[in-house]
Chains A and B, each alone.
Chain A
């Protein structure tokens, strides 16, 4: 088995990516599919804003509008933000801890393909009788009454992609616990690795409640159970609890890796060690913990009673404390630093005020009595877009620029990057800032239109113009990506020049076996330490050059996921009663899944070795582009 690079045709490349178990290639898969869903979700957002551009607009019908807002939320949270963050985690985290790969490369690939097929399944609802239309929260009282198959696409699709995310989370946890390079203690881990770690723990603990809720919903709608049917002794509030027990940690699953990316950016482009590293780490862990004690603040108006509301209101306000700790640490990291205003740094600096604005409105909503006024108004819409777009999406865009060289070996154009930044930032504030006031003026969330006499026309128009700005920003980014890819100017290990952590000590993109020798970590910001001590080689190594054991690629993850995809169609159409083919399809799908699992279990796959000679030849031949 040779590890030497060879030119390959298009088909071979596709096959390579479909069978890969390499964390860097899986990162690219996550990145591309996450980007695709991000564009789909963005188009849905634009349609919402076109519809609300003027009073009494009839661009979309009421029913279609419901479907679009539901799919916009669901797509953006589950199919765009999460995979894009998982892309960065996959691409960067193993490099940051000096690992050969993630702990379970096969499962990593399985996780991706489950997510991918789940996402495709969900989006196929557009062509197969209508998308889900009960909001991304899919409250049972509304969802149970929804006609057609939209809700079933939602439940089954999210079940499949949820499995994928759970697998990814467990994989990262095991990787970070077991596969850190020698010397990489917990308190020397880069902050992005720390946030990946805590976010993965949250995935581990938060996704099971969602899965349970989705199972209940599937059984209620498809197999005649009555978990949520009040008339039959069920309880519709249980869905809301299960959903938010998952849903609140979910927003931390999204924002913590974003915090991690920004922490890296602040340190790199201020050319300073992170201020208060320890405090940042503990704040991350605390946010993770508190994240599980606050979910009922989404349900203040349900009528849980004053005691429950008070408890959850207080718990919610407490979360602001560790978040505040982080904000101050970032500010103090910048303070006195030798700052370079690169595109990632611009995003990071813009993130602080944007996110704080979202956080402040969050604390306002934590006051239960005030929340009774704000609930289900545009104020809420403004709030969560400020934290999700102002936090997560800015982080994703910043991370795209920061890690593009590490993932693809080329540098995105800085000028175009800054154009994207300004369009996006201005558009973002234009769109959502004014929605606070729309909310305070009484505009309810999720309505498909409004009247001319309500005085919301101008504000909505401004909001729509802002959305257009954001769209232009994203289009410029796409152009940037295309131009950069065509130009294909390869860059070295540390293209930003100020990399601090291990991922910048390795070629961009890294060879498929990562570090030829496991590095020895001598402190926080290990690459920076070596640079400052004038180490020409870049790193100190913990072991002599030797054979490397690598896992074989495998097509089985695609087959397992495809089986689930097929089975979902069977389950979905089984409820109609008049489709005789549904049950066989369900059985065939499950047979594909379990059959391929069986094959995987029975067949020994021992991987292969890269010999020392090949590594030496690789190093000398300058095979730095990493493509196998």
Chain B
């Protein structure tokens, strides 16, 4: 059965293709890094500008959620092929957890 050692040899075209893919990935990582820095700046600015906490808290939570998604997709390779099932289960789990927390926050404790 398939226990033999397999040594990959790449043709020139494959090599070129991989190169292009990797530079694309690198670009997307740098972009999302820049966006994250920017989002963090916004977060700090809203706090230091002294807005009302009722504005600051939701904004920061929203920015945090965006950052998590960027992180997952661009740094933790969730955007790569074959991660569909993982993503589906992760988001289902998050959804269930979110509904639970939402309910507790809205109708149990307040």
Q: Which of A19-27, A234-242, A415-423 contacts B (4 or more CB under 8 A)?
A: A234-242
Whether B1 is near chain A, meaning CB under 8 Å from some CB there, is yes
Given A205-B92, A245-B100, A546:B1 Cβ within 8 A: yes
Contact indicator per residue, chain A 89-120, by CB within 8 Å of chain B (1) or not (0) = 00000000000000000000000000000000
Q: Which of B8-16, B37-45, B102-110 contacts A (4 or more CB under 8 A)?
A: B102-110
Whether B89 is near chain A, meaning CB under 8 Å from some CB there, is yes
Chain B residue total in the interface (Cβ 8 A):
15
Whether A79 is near chain B, meaning CB under 8 Å from some CB there, is no
Partner of B96, one of A173, A292, A308, A546: A292
A292-335 CB contacts (< 8 Å) to partner B? 292-293, 296, 304-305, 308
Which residues of B lie under 8 Å from residue A209 when comparing CB positions?
A: 100
Partner of A293, one of B92, B99, B106: B99
Q: Is the CB–CB distance between B103 and A296 below 8 Å?
A: yes
B71-110 CB contacts (< 8 Å) to partner A? 85, 89, 92-93, 95-96, 99-100, 103-104, 106-109
Which residues of A lie under 8 Å from residue B108 when comparing CB positions?
A: 235, 237-238, 241
Contact indicator per residue, chain B 4-48, by CB within 8 Å of chain A (1) or not (0) = 000000000000000000000000000000000000000000000
Known: A235-B108, A237-B108, A296-B107; 12 extra A-B contacts, CB below 8 A, are A173-B89, A177-B85, A201-B89, A205-B93, A241-B104, A289-B92, A292-B95, A292-B99, A304-B107, A308-B106, A308-B107, A546-B1
A168-222 CB contacts (< 8 Å) to partner B? 173, 177, 201, 204-205, 209
Smallest beta-carbon distance B29→chain A, Å = 28
Residue contacts A-B, CB under 8 angstroms, 16 given: A177-B85, A201-B89, A204-B89, A235-B108, A235-B109, A238-B104, A238-B108, A241-B103, A241-B104, A289-B92, A292-B95, A292-B96, A292-B99, A546-B1, A547-B1, A549-B1
- Rounded to whole angstroms, the CA-CA distance of A304 and B109 in the bound complex is 11
- Rounded to whole angstroms, the CA-CA distance of A204 and B106 in the bound complex is 25
Which residues of A lie under 8 Å from residue B89 when comparing CB positions?
A: 173, 201, 204
The 7 closest A-B pairs by CB, nearest first: A308-B107, A304-B107, A292-B96, A205-B96, A546-B1, A177-B85, A245-B100
Smallest beta-carbon distance A306→chain B, Å = 11
Q: Is the CB–CB distance between A201 and B1 below 8 Å?
A: no
Which residues of B lie under 8 Å from residue A305 when comparing CB positions?
A: 107
Which of B89, B92, B100, B107 is packed against the most chain A CB atoms within 10 Å?
A: B107
Which residues of B lie under 8 Å from residue A546 when comparing CB positions?
A: 1
Which residues of A lie under 8 Å from residue B1 when comparing CB positions?
A: 546-547, 549
Smallest beta-carbon distance B81→chain A, Å = 15
Residue of B nearest to A178 (CB): B85
- Rounded to whole angstroms, the CA-CA distance of A289 and B95 in the bound complex is 10
Residue of A nearest to B85 (CB): A177
Which residues of A lie under 8 Å from residue B107 when comparing CB positions?
A: 296, 304-305, 308
- Rounded to whole angstroms, the CA-CA distance of A308 and B104 in the bound complex is 11
B52-78 CB contacts (< 8 Å) to partner A? none
- Rounded to whole angstroms, the CA-CA distance of A209 and B100 in the bound complex is 10
Which residues of B lie under 8 Å from residue A241 when comparing CB positions?
A: 100, 103-104, 108
Contact indicator per residue, chain A 354-374, by CB within 8 Å of chain B (1) or not (0) = 000000000000000000000
Contact indicator per residue, chain A 424-462, by CB within 8 Å of chain B (1) or not (0) = 000000000000000000000000000000000000000
Which residues of A lie under 8 Å from residue B100 when comparing CB positions?
A: 209, 241, 245
- Rounded to whole angstroms, the CA-CA distance of A304 and B1 in the bound complex is 61
Which residues of B lie under 8 Å from residue A235 when comparing CB positions?
A: 108-109
- Rounded to whole angstroms, the CA-CA distance of A296 and B104 in the bound complex is 11
Residue of A nearest to B106 (CB): A308
Smallest beta-carbon distance A140→chain B, Å = 13
Which residues of B lie under 8 Å from residue A293 when comparing CB positions?
A: 99
Residue of B nearest to A309 (CB): B107
Which residues of A lie under 8 Å from residue B92 when comparing CB positions?
A: 201, 205, 289
- Rounded to whole angstroms, the CA-CA distance of A308 and B96 in the bound complex is 17
Smallest beta-carbon distance A18→chain B, Å = 31
